[in-house]
Chains A and B, each alone.
Chain A
Amino acid sequence: MVSYDEGASAPQPTRASFLGRYVFSTHHKTIGLQYLWLALASVLVGVVLSTLLRVHTSWPDTAIPFLTGFENTPERYAAVRLLHGSLMVFFVLTAAPQLGFGNYLLPLQIGASEMAFPALNLVSLWLTVISLAGMTVSFFYTAETGISVWLGSAAIFSIGALLSALNFTTTTIDLRTEGMTLPRLPVTVWAWFLNSILSMLIFSVLLAGCAALLSDRLLGSQFFSVASYLAAQPLNLVRQGSSAALWQRLFWYFAQAEVYVAMLPCFGIVTHLVSTFSRKPVWKERLVVLALCGVGLIGFCVWGYHMFATGMNPFAPLVFAVLASSLGVPAAFLLASWLGTLWEARLRLTTAMLFSIGFISLFIAGGLSGIFLARHDLRSAAVSEDFVIGHFHLVMGVAATFAILAALFFWFPKLFGCRLSETLGKAHFWMTFAGVYLIFMPMHWLGLLTQSRLLPDEQRAVLASAGSSIRTLVTVATIGTVFAQIIFVINFVQALLRRKRVQEEANPWRATTLEWSVASPAPEENFGNAKPTVYRGAYEFPAGLATDFAPQHLSPELLAQKVG
């Protein structure tokens, strides 16, 4: 067969206009960075919103500056919560680890020059941008219009995510360089790959749900109409006053798995970093990959367990409770592997490594309270909303943010051509680490305290007063932690300003994977004409070399010369 040249593999024209280079570029590294900027903007807004929410909870009489223009009604409060949640979940937790770092690094790590479908990649980026704009705009409308706009934006986001997932999966299957067999793939690539498969399945469901609900709201169709549905429902559904169980089913089908969509790439990143900074191979690497598959598979199946509160077939909760608890098994594998890699390692405690270890710590702390929540009976009897909020912020929100920060500190030289300051980074890490524990641990306590239906009235009053002081503590801690982020912003801006003046080495962390075989920042055409060949697994740190690591692309002869 004739070898047809792929236009995508050709380097970008160097004299392209600003628009062509930065806005409508189909280049994977540009797109990856654009997702990261998007995530950075969203996280800053999201953090400010969460502070406003805390201030309002602790001191409800204070006029919230941002909300004075609006009526300070419960509806507006709910709208702030929705915006905080959507920004964080869709545009930070989903976008940064998968779409941001994934787009930038996946082709580099497998030795490809581009994603499989670059034009499609650009389309999904812009769908994401439109969806971000839509969700933000929906905040300023009244609830009725706002919800429709939000739903439309969620549908657009789903299409973008589907196209991205298609692109990631195809790239991983078909564009690996010579010698990059599946067992030699870095765990990060595995995580992005498995996550894309999961995304492809669940975002279709969200899309279907959004489309049907939108058609209900705008065209008057009757997919989720309350009256005709409830008429024939089992009693427990009606009693609990649920009106939209079908929508909830479709939504949670997506939303429960979405948690793993956010977490899977983080698992990959942390595994990668822990190995690199322990100067040891990933302990039981195959088992880690299997565990990642397990997380994806079970995550896909546990949609029902958010329906506990809504009521469902009496036997179904048991099935889902078992499924939800069984998530502990792959999670325990991952944890064992991280600890096994850390065991007796020559640790290098860089900021990136600190954030990775912080992730592990948060994952354990948050995961333990998850076991309580997986028990449906325990959950409805003993625990209130605060407990749930504490749980999922710790395990999903903050842990994932730590993984994103770890990735940023690690790959910053590859992205921008210089390192972030380690001193500022460590100060930022310790303040944030202490801060998030101070915020979310008391929240668990609060959740247990305030759910005191079973107690007599006088005890409840005592507990309620104790609860308010805990609330104040949480709010103060939130404000402190938010201010600690200023250190990060300073560090970030300072590094960007410095980058023109410093000459960064290609492989500052002495890492093994392919992206470190090219210059920092990564050149426009990735590997150019010199396609790399891969000779070994992604995490090899053999003894007896002059350097303590064996890069994937180094041929055995070149490596033999390094024996010291």
Chain B
Amino acid sequence: MPGSTATQEIELILEKKTSDGGGGNLPPTGRNGGGDDGKRPQRENSSPKRYFTGMALGIVSILMFFMALSSAFLLRRGNGVWIPVQIPMVMWINTIVLLASSATLELARQRLADGRLSTYRNLWLVTTVLGVGFVVGQAVAWRQLVAQGIYLASNPASSFFYIFTGAHALHLMGGVAALIYVAKRNFNQAKVTRSAAAEVTSYYWHFMDALWLFLLALLYLGK
């Protein structure tokens, strides 16, 4: 997944680190006594690294939330009244839409790295539209289930079906908000570069994509 920007970013971060400490990564540890006394190194709080770290940790946290529900699902499955929910056809189409959005997001980031801003903007917009399309598609699927008389309160299987798809849709809407934010943001005076912001957002988006595939597999195979 890491495109050219990711490696560049890492190189820049590494370069920044080594150039800061006056030759070495660390100040002298005592015995050999170096003398960079007057020169106060400024490793400022400006590195975008924290956004990557924060995103990675956030992903772990969200994953844990869904793992808790998944383990409850597996424990609960087959106990008592358990009428599996047939996954509506629309959801398979939605899946393709979501996968496509990940692809366009990557393409957008490549264009951004090449400096082709207008194509990047268009592809970014396509990604956002596909993301919204996915959520709308999920809503359509829920309407279809409701029309069949399957509600949240019908039985444990349907409860799990709605909470999985619902919680995922909620998290995905956060991703859509992030896409819009990155598109609208003026990066001229911002703390982060556009490419860093796009990359952090892309991690979340791909994660949502993978999470959806996992949930779909769980709901399909685990019914």
**A residues lining the B interface (CB < 8 Å):** 1-9, 112-114, 116-117, 162, 165-167, 169-171, 173-175, 177-179, 181, 200-201, 204-205, 207-209, 211-212, 215, 219-223, 225, 227-233, 246, 249-250, 253, 529-531, 533-536, 555-557, 560
Cα of A535 to Cα of B21 in the assembled complex, Å: 12
Binding-face segment, B44-52, B85-93, B116-124, B133-141: B44-52
* Contact flags B45-83 to A (C-beta < 8 A → 1, else 0): 111111001100110111011101100100110111110
Residue B186 lies at the interface, judged by CB distance under 8 Å to chain A: no
Which residue of B64, B65, B79, B191 is within 8 Å of A228 (Cβ)?
A: B79
B28 surroundings in chain A (CB, below 8 A): 535, 556
- A201-B60, A246-B72 are known contacts; what are 17 more A-B pairs with Cβ within 8 Å? A3-B44, A9-B46, A112-B45, A169-B57, A174-B49, A181-B26, A208-B65, A208-B68, A220-B152, A221-B162, A228-B80, A229-B80, A229-B156, A231-B80, A249-B72, A533-B27, A560-B33
B43 surroundings in chain A (CB, below 8 A): 177-178, 531
Contact flag A219-B64 (CB < 8 Å), given A3-B44, A557-B35? no
- Docked-complex contact B46 and A3, CB < 8 angstroms: yes
- Docked-complex contact A1 and B193, CB < 8 angstroms: yes
- Docked-complex contact B152 and A221, CB < 8 angstroms: yes
- Docked-complex contact B46 and A536, CB < 8 angstroms: no
Interface centre among A209, A223, A557 (most CB of B within 10 A): A223
Closest to B167 in A: A211
Contact flag A222-B193 (CB < 8 Å), given A174-B47, A200-B64, A530-B40? no
Closest to B166 in A: A215
- Docked-complex contact A253 and B68, CB < 8 angstroms: yes
Residue B29 lies at the interface, judged by CB distance under 8 Å to chain A: yes
Cα of A434 to Cα of B156 in the assembled complex, Å: 53
A219 surroundings in chain B (CB, below 8 A): 152-153
- Docked-complex contact B37 and A200, CB < 8 angstroms: no
Q: What's the minimum C-beta distance from B110 to chain A, rounded to whole angstroms?
A: 20
Residue B209 lies at the interface, judged by CB distance under 8 Å to chain A: no
B156 surroundings in chain A (CB, below 8 A): 222-223, 225, 228-229
Q: What's the minimum C-beta distance from A248 to chain B, rounded to whole angstroms?
A: 12
Residue B192 lies at the interface, judged by CB distance under 8 Å to chain A: yes
Contact flag A555-B37 (CB < 8 Å), given A9-B44, A229-B79? yes
Query: What are 12 A-B pairs with beta-carbon distances under 8 A?
Result: A4-B192, A112-B45, A116-B53, A166-B54, A173-B53, A175-B50, A204-B65, A208-B68, A212-B69, A215-B159, A221-B152, A250-B72
Closest to B34 in A: A556
Which residue of A3, A166, A178, A223 is within 8 Å of B61 (Cβ)?
A: A166
Cα of A400 to Cα of B110 in the assembled complex, Å: 52
A249 surroundings in chain B (CB, below 8 A): 72, 75
Interface centre among A165, A204, A246 (most CB of B within 10 A): A204
B152 surroundings in chain A (CB, below 8 A): 215, 219-221
A1 surroundings in chain B (CB, below 8 A): 12, 16, 193
Contact flag A204-B53 (CB < 8 Å), given A223-B156, A557-B35, A557-B37? no
- Docked-complex contact A221 and B49, CB < 8 angstroms: no
Closest to B151 in A: A220
- Residues of B within 8 Å of A, CB-based: how many? 58
Interface centre among A8, A170, A530 (most CB of B within 10 A): A170
B65 surroundings in chain A (CB, below 8 A): 204-205, 207-208
* Contact flags B9-36 to A (C-beta < 8 A → 1, else 0): 0001000100011000011111101010
B191 surroundings in chain A (CB, below 8 A): 4-7
List the 10 closest A-B pairs by CB distance, nearest first: A228-B80, A220-B153, A221-B159, A204-B64, A208-B68, A204-B65, A6-B45, A205-B68, A232-B79, A174-B50
- Docked-complex contact A5 and B44, CB < 8 angstroms: yes
Q: How many A-B residue pairs have CB under 8 A?
A: 171
- Docked-complex contact A223 and B76, CB < 8 angstroms: yes
Residue B163 lies at the interface, judged by CB distance under 8 Å to chain A: yes
- Docked-complex contact A178 and B27, CB < 8 angstroms: yes
Q: What's the minimum C-beta distance from A191 to chain B, rounded to whole angstroms?
A: 18
- Docked-complex contact B37 and A223, CB < 8 angstroms: no
Closest to B27 in A: A179
B167 surroundings in chain A (CB, below 8 A): 211
Q: What's the minimum C-beta distance from B7 to chain A, rounded to whole angstroms?
A: 13
- Docked-complex contact B163 and A227, CB < 8 angstroms: no
- Docked-complex contact A223 and B54, CB < 8 angstroms: no
B44 surroundings in chain A (CB, below 8 A): 3, 5-6, 9
Closest to B21 in A: A178
- Docked-complex contact A201 and B64, CB < 8 angstroms: yes
- Docked-complex contact A205 and B46, CB < 8 angstroms: no
Residue B148 lies at the interface, judged by CB distance under 8 Å to chain A: no
Cα of A209 to Cα of B156 in the assembled complex, Å: 15
Which residue of A9, A207, A209, A556 is within 8 Å of B45 (Cβ)?
A: A9
Residue B3 lies at the interface, judged by CB distance under 8 Å to chain A: no
Cα of A534 to Cα of B28 in the assembled complex, Å: 9
B155 surroundings in chain A (CB, below 8 A): 222, 228
- Docked-complex contact A531 and B47, CB < 8 angstroms: no
Cα of A3 to Cα of B190 in the assembled complex, Å: 11
Give B190-221 interface residues, CB cut-off 8 Å to A: 190-193
Closest to A216 in B: B159
A223 surroundings in chain B (CB, below 8 A): 72, 76, 156, 159-160, 163
Cα of A204 to Cα of B64 in the assembled complex, Å: 6
A530 surroundings in chain B (CB, below 8 A): 40
Contact flag A116-B54 (CB < 8 Å), given A6-B191, A178-B21? yes
Closest to B152 in A: A221
Q: What's the minimum C-beta distance from A555 to chain B, rounded to whole angstroms?
A: 6
B159 surroundings in chain A (CB, below 8 A): 215, 221-223
B58 surroundings in chain A (CB, below 8 A): 166
Residue B222 lies at the interface, judged by CB distance under 8 Å to chain A: no
Q: What's the minimum C-beta distance from B97 to chain A, rounded to whole angstroms?
A: 26
Residue B41 lies at the interface, judged by CB distance under 8 Å to chain A: yes
Closest to A9 in B: B45
Contact flag A556-B30 (CB < 8 Å), given A8-B45, A116-B54, A223-B159? yes
- Docked-complex contact A556 and B33, CB < 8 angstroms: yes
Cα of A211 to Cα of B159 in the assembled complex, Å: 12
- Docked-complex contact A175 and B26, CB < 8 angstroms: no
Closest to A532 in B: B40
A211 surroundings in chain B (CB, below 8 A): 163, 167
- Docked-complex contact A204 and B68, CB < 8 angstroms: yes
Cα of A223 to Cα of B77 in the assembled complex, Å: 10
A231 surroundings in chain B (CB, below 8 A): 79-81
